[in-house]
Amino acid sequence: MDKKAQQSMNRPNNSTIEETSQQTPPHSLLPTKQPTSNKSPIPYKKPEAPKQTPCPNKPQKMKRIPQ
């Protein structure tokens, strides 16, 4: 029980606070991921736009062939 109490005290202690402050990679990763996420949707939308164009174009050409 003493060990648990000490660990509990150590957790909220400066040791944990410092580790939590130093171990803040999610915050650093967030801004780094934001540009990646923003860049991902940009190139993703580009291929989607041309893909949607050939979709309606294909059915039109197919209709012309049977006609």
At 52 the pLDDT is 52
The per-residue pLDDT for range 3-14, each reduced to its tens digit, is 665 665 555 555
**pLDDT attached to residue 59:** 58
Whether 17 contacts 24, CB under 8 Å? no
Q: What is the pLDDT of residues 18-60, one digit of tens each?
A: 555 555 555 555 555 555 555 555 555 555 555 555 555 555 5
Range of the domain at 45: 2-64
15 contacts 21 by C-beta, under 8 angstroms: no
Number of domains in the chain: 1
Tell whether the model's pLDDT for residue 64 goes beyond 60. yes
